[in-house]
Structure 1
Amino acid sequence: MKKIIAGLLVAVSMLTFGCSGRNAEFGVVDMKQVETEAPVVKNTKEDVTKQMTDLKAQMDKDMEGKNGEEAAKIAEDYGAKAKLIQSEAQNKLKASLDTALNQVAKEKNLGAIMIKEAVPQGGTDVTKEVIAKMQ
């Protein structure tokens, strides 16, 4: 099912770029490789891990001697803080990826950059360039 949807997405993208007079050349990026090789991903994961560890330690300290409703309220507050940390990290990574993709597409004069796994064939692999531009 995913392959069918991906194929349709590629076909629609190609039609859109072909019909609008834009450059029909497209790039592909290997997201698994980006996740494992981009320094910003590694640094962000390490930062989130540290923040979560600190948050857990603070929560444990605040929970000492508390039970019932008080403990539930504290756990809820820290859960919200944890979600905020994760959300900020995701937003940072998305912004970095979007900026890198836009820069590479412009430099290489590509009409689009798609996820490599969603493209059955073709496209210029720009994974290394995207990784280099991610900050």
Structure 2
Amino acid sequence: MSRSWKRLAAAAVLALSAGVLAGCGGADNVGVVDMQRVQKEAPLVQQYKTKTEEKQKSVEQELQSAKGTVSDEEYQKKQQQAQQELNIFAASMQRQFMSDIQSKLAEVAKTKNVGIVVIKDAVPNGGIDVTDELIAKLQ
């Protein structure tokens, strides 16, 4: 699950970067964000992770309680339904997370007067670090 959050965060930053770059053609400033720190420190990210973990535990408990009371065929159907439910829930959480990251990062970029925000590892030297501001906005 952690890898998917990292991929999602990277995609969110890149998508926002493209949008900011397209909308602010004349700006020379580059903002950088450390997504690893954001994932570790931002309370909103932790809330999404907690919700996803709680949903997974809930579904697992439902499956465990159904295991002894239904036939093997019905149990397999329940497992498939549970997996579908988890996939839909995770996709929903990822969309919400991506939307939150993009909107908050756009606010930070505007206040810091940067034309583009990229992942810190993508910029070899310099850039305006906006990580702390993003973490603060993701309360």
How far has the Cα of 1:62 moved from its partner? Answer: 2.6
Provide, for residues 10-48 of structure 1, a one-character-per-residue CA deviation record: whole Å limited to 9, x for no partner.
xxx8xxx6xx85111110000000000000011111121
SS in structure 1 opposite 2:85?
helix
- Runs of 4 or more, structure 1, over 6 Å off, are none
Aligned partner of 1:121 among 120, 125, 139: 125
Does the CA contact (< 8 Å) of 2:26 and 2:115 recur in 1?
A: yes
How high is the TM-score relative to the length of structure 2?
0.77
Aligned 1:1-135 pairs, distance under 5 A: 21-135=25-139
Q: Partners of 1:62 and 1:91 in 2: how far apart?
A: 31
Q: State which structure, 1 or 2, has the greater radius of gyration over its C-alpha atoms.
A: 1
Runs of 5+ unmatched residues, structure 2: 1-16
Q: Partners of 2:137 and 2:129 in 1: how far apart?
A: 15
Does the CA contact (< 8 Å) of 1:63 and 1:74 recur in 2?
A: no
Q: Single out whichever of 59-68 and 118-127 deviates more from structure 2.
A: 59-68
Overall identity of the aligned pairs, in %:
33
Runs of 5+ unmatched residues, structure 1: 1-12
How many residue pairs align between the two structures? Answer: 118
Does the CA contact (< 8 Å) of 1:99 and 1:134 recur in 2?
A: no
Give the letter aligned to residue 45 of structure 2. V
How high is the TM-score relative to the length of structure 1?
0.79
What do you get for the CA RMSD once the two structures are aligned? 1.8
Provide, for residues 59-104 of structure 1, a one-character-per-residue CA deviation record: whole Å limited to 9, x for no partner.
2223323233222111100000111221122112111111111001
Q: Partners of 1:62 and 1:68 in 2: how far apart?
A: 10
